[in-house]
A and B are shown apart, each in its own frame.
Chain A
Amino acid sequence: MKKKLLSVLLSTAMVSALLVGCNGTTEEVVEETGEEVVAEEGGEEEVAEAADEGKVLNIYCWNEEFKSRVEDHYPGYEKVDATSGKIGDVTVKFNITANQDNAYQNNLDEKLLAQDSAAADDKIDIFLIEADYALKYVDTDYALALSEIGITDADVAGQFQYTKDVVTDSNGNLKGSSWQGCPGALIYRRDIAEEVLGVSEPADVQPFVKDWDTFLDTAAKMKDKGYFMTSSVMDTYRTYSNNVTSKWVEGDKINIDANIDKWVDDSKVMVDKGYAGTHGLWSDDWSKGFFMDGKVFCYFGPAWLINFCMSCDQEGSVGSEGQWAITEGPQGFFWGGTWMCVAAGTDNPTLCKDLVLTMTTDTDVLREITTDDDDFTNNEALMNEMAEEDGFGNDYLGGQNPLGIFAKGVSTVDLSNLSAYDQGCNEEFQNAMTQYFNGEATKDEALELFYTAVLEKYPNLSK
């Protein structure tokens, strides 16, 4: 009998230890992935003070950019460590999840769905979004209308209209705000322009790239001298796709706009004649043209591409030699931009309001950002003013002041045709068409592939 009892006891102990073990690990994993920094404050004090406002401000983002803007320009922000800081006695935590493979959105989705049941200090207060998928969040109740935290239309009156269009939901509520505008331009190499076209100043080069047909003619000249017009045909994609007259999805049906179709046909010519490659953006092959020994005439991009991505601080890069210059190019477009959204359920509404107002509407802060970081900031009057000023020449652009050309680009950007499916459709479309460009598939086969891939991503749509 005693033995029996002992055995039962032992086995129970073993099993329960096992179960406790499992339980412990799952909890730990959740905590680790959810919060990069585990809260240090004790539990008891917080409960007492939570009645006031939260002591932890959680900001969800995908890179260091916003963090460094806040660190450098938000008055009263003290940096604590790589991913956190303090504003007054509120701890600010940056939860950074890389964009790669949709990881940022996947993480954000899970967190938003669990927002109601999360502890006050774990709730998302501010999350950052991009234009490509803005509507996915903006058109839900997970993002607060700015008016709900006391930000009025007058506060954001100075912002570029397109930046407000992106984050306006289907009921007309403004649900986000951005400190930057990301108008794009055609970034070309002065030395190649001089060699092939005989001119190098933006005003003289513009006639050679003023529309897509001229662009292709110029591409032929580049080819004759052994240069590529653009690195890849993917470079021109955004310029076409920003100038569409219909949405990717109408009703529940996938729709291909005429300008997108034009991209396919123009690009096929570019590839077949050897004017450009078909590799993806951000690949090794793509970035080879950032250096002087590359053979690429132009890229399409906004200010941040030049400042952060084109390796301009590296020896031997085109930027370090000051050989880039920008001009309007065939069509206006924008690329990227980061919007701040305030999450429903935030426990720090006052601080959120202040952060949004300071970072995106305060003229002094915006001027500082443009001066220090070469960002094109989101204030029309300010940008036009600074375009005329001396001292904003960009060394990477051989001293050219890019603000004027960027400001011009913004004026033609029309975002009335965004849809919540843009990101998935754009990605899959470019991928499918690569097969056509490479001659592995006919155009119809490539389109079929595109439909298959989109329907996998969005099972609610139809062909």
Chain B
Amino acid sequence: MKQQHKKSKVVSFNKWGYIFLIPFVVVYLVFSFVPLVSTIYYSFFEKYRVGVIEVGPNWIWFDNYKTLLTNGDLITYTTNTLVMWIIGFIPQLLVSLLLGSWFSDTRLRIKGSAFFKTVIYLPNLIMASAFAMLFFTLFSDGGPINAMLQSLGLQNPDVPYKWLQHAWSARGIVGFLNFLMWFGNTTILLMAGMMGIDPSLFEAAEVDGANATQVFWKITLPLLRPILVFVLITSLVGGIQMFDVPQILTNGTGDPLRSSMTLIMYLNKHLFSKNYGMAGALSVVLFIITGILSLLVYKVSTAKD
């Protein structure tokens, strides 16, 4: 009798766990699951608007996917997105690793490190659109950057360099902006990872006579791998969803010749005609691409051990 009473008490405690989960589950169902399912559902329909006239919805099986995969745009935009992500991510990772190891190095004892940590995080607090707007003005044909180059004699004032009208300079600016916005965030993450490494390992290395470079490559980096994988995957997923910076910077056109058009900007193009069918199909493809890439990165970076 006594024992039974005890058992029921345990079970009812478990119930409370589920009850406390309800808010999350409801929010997830309403705001994530239902949209996910309806996106997949709509991707099989022809449904758009011409002016104020509605076309569809007509069930057309896989026609949207066929159009999407055969017109070749998808590959271009995927490449654009990845290229711009890499342009931003490589310097981001290098600078973050450097800053992270400086900040977490107990022997360096950098003065005012709290101040610098805040400062490098600040760009992330500015709205991406505002940041992009700022750079749009800086790099416009008659903007400050060109004016500066001209007064230094590096540029002929009659032929200003059109930063946003050349594929690689436009992509470069997008990548640079992303780098500026996110390196602070990455630094904080990597620093947290580095500070989590057992100090006795560093001490042991020191005793054995390892120099700073050796410590970094042989101890810090290998032990940092889980955090690095995390940074890589989150940045990749964020990178695939790159939108605001190139959108504002190129006024939504992805110019020149759509070489800075990202996948989400392409998705956004379909919203002009409220083309839920094509937009849905594109979203599903995007979902799959993200999944595959994340899996790939995860597999590759956790292969050994």
A residues engaging B (CB < 8 A)? 3-4, 7, 10-11, 14-15, 18-19, 22, 101-102, 109, 112-113, 133, 136-137, 140, 142, 274, 277-280, 283-285, 288, 420, 424, 431, 434-435, 438, 440-441, 445-446, 449, 452-453, 456-460
Which chain B residues lie closer than 8 Å to A136 at the CB level? 51-52
B residues engaging A (CB < 8 A)? 12, 15-16, 19, 22-23, 26-27, 30, 48-55, 73, 137, 140-143, 158-159, 162, 165-167, 251-253, 255-258, 269-270, 272-273, 275, 278
Sorted nearest first, the 7 A-B pairs with minimum C-beta distance are A136-B51, A440-B256, A456-B269, A438-B165, A11-B19, A457-B272, A285-B142
- A420's nearest neighbour on chain B, judged by CB, is B51
Which chain A residues lie closer than 8 Å to B272 at the CB level? 102, 424, 456-457
Which of B53, B140, B165 has the most CB atoms of chain A within a 10 A radius of its CB? B165
A450 CB → nearest B CB, Å: 11
| Contact indicator A11/B22 (Cβ below 8 Å) | yes
- A449's nearest neighbour on chain B, judged by CB, is B257
- B162's nearest neighbour on chain A, judged by CB, is A438
| Contact indicator B22/A458 (Cβ below 8 Å) | no
B285 CB → nearest A CB, Å: 16
| Contact indicator A22/B30 (Cβ below 8 Å) | yes
Alpha-carbon distance A316/B54, docked complex (angstroms): 50
| Contact indicator A283/B140 (Cβ below 8 Å) | yes
Given contacts A101-B252, A445-B257, contact A460 B55 (CB under 8 A): yes
A27 CB → nearest B CB, Å: 15
| Contact indicator B52/A431 (Cβ below 8 Å) | no
Alpha-carbon distance A4/B19, docked complex (angstroms): 12
Question: Of A109, A441, A453, which contacts B49 at CB under 8 A?
Answer: A109
A304 CB → nearest B CB, Å: 23
B252 CB → nearest A CB, Å: 7
| Contact indicator A3/B141 (Cβ below 8 Å) | no
Alpha-carbon distance A449/B261, docked complex (angstroms): 12
| Contact indicator A441/B52 (Cβ below 8 Å) | no
| Contact indicator B140/A441 (Cβ below 8 Å) | no
| Contact indicator B12/A3 (Cβ below 8 Å) | yes
Alpha-carbon distance A261/B237, docked complex (angstroms): 43
Which chain B residues lie closer than 8 Å to A10 at the CB level? 19
- B170's nearest neighbour on chain A, judged by CB, is A440
Alpha-carbon distance A155/B39, docked complex (angstroms): 51
Question: Of A15, A142, A284, A440, which contacts B165 at CB under 8 A?
Answer: A440
A335 CB → nearest B CB, Å: 21
Which chain A residues lie closer than 8 Å to B158 at the CB level? 274
| Contact indicator A277/B255 (Cβ below 8 Å) | no
- B255's nearest neighbour on chain A, judged by CB, is A435
| Contact indicator A459/B48 (Cβ below 8 Å) | yes
Which chain A residues lie closer than 8 Å to B30 at the CB level? 22
| Contact indicator A142/B52 (Cβ below 8 Å) | yes
Alpha-carbon distance A179/B95, docked complex (angstroms): 61
Given contacts A15-B22, A140-B53, A456-B272, contact A440 B137 (CB under 8 A): no
Which chain B residues lie closer than 8 Å to A458 at the CB level? 50, 273
Question: Can you offer 12 A-B residue contacts whose CB atoms are under 8 A?
Answer: A7-B19, A14-B22, A18-B26, A113-B54, A136-B51, A140-B53, A278-B162, A278-B165, A431-B255, A458-B50, A459-B48, A459-B273
Which chain B residues lie closer than 8 Å to A420 at the CB level? 50-51
Alpha-carbon distance A102/B16, docked complex (angstroms): 50
- A8's nearest neighbour on chain B, judged by CB, is B19
Which chain A residues lie closer than 8 Å to B258 at the CB level? 449, 452
- B278's nearest neighbour on chain A, judged by CB, is A459
Alpha-carbon distance A284/B27, docked complex (angstroms): 45
| Contact indicator A438/B256 (Cβ below 8 Å) | yes
A19 CB → nearest B CB, Å: 8
Which chain A residues lie closer than 8 Å to B273 at the CB level? 456-459
Alpha-carbon distance A370/B259, docked complex (angstroms): 48
| Contact indicator B253/A431 (Cβ below 8 Å) | yes
A436 CB → nearest B CB, Å: 10
Which chain A residues lie closer than 8 Å to B165 at the CB level? 278, 434-435, 438, 440
Q: A284-B142, A285-B140 are in contact. List 17 more A-B contacts (CB 8 A).
A: A7-B16, A14-B22, A18-B26, A18-B27, A19-B26, A137-B52, A279-B140, A279-B141, A284-B143, A288-B142, A420-B50, A431-B255, A435-B256, A440-B256, A441-B256, A457-B273, A459-B278
Which chain A residues lie closer than 8 Å to B142 at the CB level? 284-285, 288
A141 CB → nearest B CB, Å: 9
Which chain B residues lie closer than 8 Å to A274 at the CB level? 158-159
A175 CB → nearest B CB, Å: 13
- B256's nearest neighbour on chain A, judged by CB, is A440
- A441's nearest neighbour on chain B, judged by CB, is B257
Alpha-carbon distance A435/B159, docked complex (angstroms): 17
Alpha-carbon distance A452/B141, docked complex (angstroms): 27
A237 CB → nearest B CB, Å: 16
Which chain A residues lie closer than 8 Å to B252 at the CB level? 101
A289 CB → nearest B CB, Å: 11
- B137's nearest neighbour on chain A, judged by CB, is A284
| Contact indicator A434/B255 (Cβ below 8 Å) | yes
